[in-house]
């Protein structure tokens, strides 16, 4: 089993990197990519925990990028964690995250959720909307994180603030310059029409993107078929990643459908 998209406490996951690696090894995974949002901070602990187990740790990152006014996610796989250009880019992304988090907090204060705002800001150096959602649950302002997103945090809701992310093309360039492979993450989550999806896949490939998540999270067989066809049309390799954030009885790293036999796996590039 291979899982090339997961999160740790270095961003918005709930397991420390070493615990994530132990959990993945216990599940029998042979390869695990740690792909925290806009940071490589969890990689050294993950690498140390993977040493001596049967698990290959694939160093990764999930970049937030902007394209046609939208925020999209690009996973970089097998990036050199000491690349200076990528590190400098991630410093910029982190600054954009902090600035956006302050703006979200200000909106939440005005909406009467000041305690949740302070709690989220104090929680992490790499604030995401998931931190705000969890804080809103902890203070009793929302029943669950889904409600917090629907009521406040989603695009179009009163505490939504867009991030000043890197452009799609520049983000892909950072990944490639660090020796990595750029993967379009969870392509169906952007809910694009077919014309916009074609433009995106064209722009992604033209900028040097090489793979797409054919199997992601809780994809249905129908979803998998759609993305497999997009991969074939645009000549992209196929990746598989759970987007694991937190353990649940039904959720673990590596809990995802197998890649279809006709797909060319992205890991054929390094194994």
Q: Does 223 bind Mn ion (CB under 5 A)?
A: no
Alpha helices (runs of H) in 74-167, residue ranges in sequence order: 84-110, 114-123, 129-138, 145-148
The item of ligand AMP, Mn ion, none sharing an interface with residue 8, based on CB under 5 to 8 Å by kind, is none
The single residue among 63, 65, 130, 135 that binds ligand AMP, judged by CB under 6 A, is 130
Residue number, nearest CB to Mn ion:
73
Q: Does 12 bind ligand AMP (CB under 6 A)?
A: yes
Distances (CA, A) of 257 to 213, 215, 217: 12, 7, 8
The item of Mn ion, ligand AMP, none sharing an interface with residue 64, based on CB under 5 to 8 Å by kind, is ligand AMP
Q: Are strands 211-216 and 237-241 parallel, antiparallel or unpaired?
A: parallel
Residue 62: closest CA among 89, 34, 24: 34
The DSSP symbol for 188 reads G
The single residue among 44, 54, 84, 146 that binds ligand AMP, judged by CB under 6 A, is 146
List, in order, residues 6 or more apart from 261 with CB less than 8 Å away: none
Q: How far is the CB of 170 from Mn ion (least distance, A)?
A: 18
Q: Does 5 bind ligand AMP (CB under 6 A)?
A: no
For residue 225 the two structure tokens come to 């078929």
Q: How far is the CB of 103 from ligand AMP (least distance, A)?
A: 12
Beta strands per DSSP E along the chain: 2-3, 31-34, 56-67, 70-77, 166-167, 181-184, 211-216, 237-241
Q: Does 145 bind ligand AMP (CB under 6 A)?
A: yes
Per-residue contact track with Mn ion, 238 to 267, x per CB under 5 A? -----x------------------------
> Applying CB under 5 A, which residues contact Mn ion?
12, 62, 73, 185, 243
> Applying CB under 6 A, which residues contact ligand AMP?
12, 37, 64, 128-130, 133, 145-146, 149, 245
């Amino acid at each position: 089993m291979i899982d090339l998209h997961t999160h740790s406490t270095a961003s918005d996951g709930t397991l420390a990197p070493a615990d994530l690696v132990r959990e993945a090894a216990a599940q029998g995974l042979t390869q695990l990519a740690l792909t925290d949002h806009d940071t490589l901070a969890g990689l050294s602990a993950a690498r140390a925990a993977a040493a001596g187990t049967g698990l290959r740790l694939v160093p990764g990152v999930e970049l937030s990028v902007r394209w046609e006014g939208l925020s999209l996610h690009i996973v970089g796989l097998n990036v050199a964690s000491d690349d200076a250009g990528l590190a400098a880019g991630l410093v910029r992304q982190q600054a954009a995250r902090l600035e956006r988090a302050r703006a979200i907090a200000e909106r939440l204060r005005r909406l009467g959720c000041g305690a949740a705002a302070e709690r989220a800001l104090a929680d992490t150096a790499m604030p995401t909307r998931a931190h705000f959602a969890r804080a809103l649950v902890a203070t009793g302002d929302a029943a669950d994180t889904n409600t917090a997103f629907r009521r406040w945090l989603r695009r179009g809701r009163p505490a939504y603030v867009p991030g000043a992310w890197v452009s799609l093309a520049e983000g892909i360039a950072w990944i490639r310059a660090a020796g990595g492979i750029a993967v379009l993450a969870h392509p169906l989550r952007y809910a694009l029409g077919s014309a916009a999806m074609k433009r995106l896949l064209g722009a992604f490939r033209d900028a040097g993107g090489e793979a797409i998540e054919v199997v992601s999270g809780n994809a249905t067989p129908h979803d998998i078929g759609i993305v497999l066809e997009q991969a074939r049309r645009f000549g992209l390799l196929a990746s598989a990643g759970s987007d694991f954030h937190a353990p649940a009885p039904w959720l673990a790293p590596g809990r995802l459908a197998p890649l279809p036999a006709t797909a060319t796996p992205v890991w054929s590039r390094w194994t």
